[in-house]
Amino acid sequence: MPRAGRTGNRMYRQSPAVIESERDRLSCTLLHLYRSPSSGPLCGMFGAMSVTGLFAGIGGFELAFSEVGFETNVLVDIDPAARAVLQARFPGIEVRADVSDLSALPSDTTIVTAGFPCQNLSMAGDKKGISGPKSGVVKKLFELIARPEPLTVVIENVYFMLQLDSGKAMEWLVDRFESLDYRWAYRVVNTMGFGLPQRRRRVYMIASRDLDPRRILFADDDSSLGVSLPSLDRPLGFYWTEGRSGVGLTVDGIPPLKAGSTLGIPSPPAVLFPDGEVLTPSLKSCEELQGFPAGWTDIDVEHEGRNPEWRLIGNAVSVPVARWIAQRIRTPGEISNFIETAIERGGGWPEAGWNVGEGRMGVSAGDKPVVTRVPSIAQFRDSSWSRLSNRALDGFIHRAEDGGLRMPDHFLDVLRKAKRKDSKAS
């Protein structure tokens, strides 16, 4: 696998589905905003716009921002496997380990990306909240952004953050932004709306002292993608590792990729295809289903633990969503029309909201802001996908039977007859 720098990403082989969705991206309403990677650094009203990537993981934000023409000055991640990917994919950029060890942001930083750890926030995590041992490191972010210069902060986190501890995690975040005079806006956005068949709803938040964050997150709105009912005529994604409570059933796509176990045991979802095959995607396909070039985490470095790549991909931000945000930071748009409702302190958090100095407002925005055709998950299927073992598939079927969840008609019957792992799927 060739290594590539920020502008060398075109060296990677792209699947037909990615190429097609890329084409769609170029023809979408944001075409005029796109800037080729070779166009050089952007200059805003305060000079070159440099990005500092905190909690950078494998650089989903930074890949997208660099494609839109922003320079990255430093990347920070505590995970050695993530740092190995960052060093290989962003050659020449300083990579540091612990956000807690930073005394200040580089002086030229104008944008901070911070997809902070979500283990204490997610449904799958321990739900200890924003002050939990992993997520609490976000406090350091507020020390770093307390400086007087104009700065824009971009955050991505799990949907559950809105509900956790009766909304206290969000309260904590916005209280701090407001006390530092940042205007903020957030919106739940679904990767499925960005040309990738992965149902991944995440909270994207922008806080800024100089930009109006509404002109970034709320300039685009599209509700033309309807909801499809599950049927066996179309591929159905599901988590075979679950079964008693929800299974994440997803029509013609996969449920959100997860970080997997801390031991690095991969647990990608499975897809039942109309031809009766039940297959799990390869790591390469999962990279593409997050919008990375295939092979992005394929680095020639000894890692601690087994298969850290699965964890890294499951933790990452979806690149096309990050690209949309980068494009809108570069060229803010006009705010679309939304119904606004005041957010009461101590109440729940809606799926979108803002405070630009006139109080906290909930906004009636959908989770798919731009018009993009979503390719079928079948376009990502190739010989690298595998069948499930007898144990895995039977285990799921038993749990599903016990759990009594409502499944599409004949779903379990077809799974019972599905071929098991004895050879690679064709």
Ligand X SMILES: C[S@@+](CC[C@H](N)C(=O)[O-])C[C@H]1O[C@@H](n2cnc3c(N)ncnc32)[C@H](O)[C@@H]1O
Binding region for ligand X (CB under 6 A):
55-58, 60-61, 76-79, 82, 98-100, 115, 117-118, 137, 315-317
Using a 10 angstrom Cβ sphere, with 0-12 exposed, 13-18 middle and 19 or more buried, the burial of residue 300 is: exposed
Nearer to ligand X, 76 or 286 (CB): 76
Neighbours of 200 (CB within 10 A): 23
The CB-of-145 to ligand X minimum distance in angstroms stands at: 15
Nearer to ligand X, 75 or 400 (CB): 75
Q: How far is CA 251 from CA 222, 248, 283, 342, in A?
A: 20, 10, 21, 34
CA atoms within 13 A on the CB side of 254: 29
Rounded Cα–Cα distance for residues 1 and 102 (Å): 33
Pull the structure tokens for residue 92.
């020449």
The CB-of-322 to ligand X minimum distance in angstroms stands at: 8
118 assigned to active site: yes
Nearer to ligand X, 294 or 316 (CB): 316
The CB-of-399 to ligand X minimum distance in angstroms stands at: 28
Rounded Cα–Cα distance for residues 212 and 335 (Å): 10
The CB-of-153 to ligand X minimum distance in angstroms stands at: 13
Provide the pairing of β-strand 386-387 with 71-76. Answer: unpaired
CA atoms within 13 A on the CB side of 335: 16
For ligand X, the nearest residue by Cβ is 57
Nearer to ligand X, 161 or 400 (CB): 161
The CB-of-238 to ligand X minimum distance in angstroms stands at: 24
Phi/psi for 297 (5° steps) reads -95, 5
Rounded Cα–Cα distance for residues 254 and 289 (Å): 9
Whether the CB-CB separation of 254 and 353 falls below 8 Å is answered with: no
From the candidates 28, 43, 118, 286, give the one annotated as an active-site residue: 118
Nearer to ligand X, 240 or 324 (CB): 324
Report the catalytic residues.
118
